[in-house]
Amino acid sequence: MIGYDPNVIEEYAKGLYEQSKSVVTCYFFIGVFLGMLVFWKVSEILVTDFDFLIISIGVLIGGVIGYGTGKSRAFEMKLAAQQALCQVEIAKNTKK
């Protein structure tokens, strides 16, 4: 039988905090890349040629959306870590 080990939950929370540090950057660059791809196709359809302005707008919009999504995801990860740590504290305080 496996016993309760609060160190596992604390390591999980620590890992979530470490991941949340880089998730905003990753989502930002994914947004930039996807915005570039989508607006590149839009540029081909509208102008039938490469238009730097349209693609730049796509990069900007994609970056903003990616940044916002990344901030939201990082907050969710930190909240999950805090909930896990709160469960450990509850277990410590109710054990007495």
Rounded CA separation 32/59 (Å)? 5
Q: With 70 as the cut, is the pLDDT of residue 96 above it?
A: no
Domain ranges of the chain: 9-90
Convert 26-72 into a string of H (helix), E (strand) and C (coil): HHHHHHHHHHHHHHHHHHHHHHCCCCHHHHHHHHHHHHHHHHHHHHH
What does the pLDDT look like over 42-88, one tens digit per residue? Answer: 888 888 777 888 899 999 999 999 999 999 999 999 999 999 999 99
The predicted model scores a pTM of 0.82
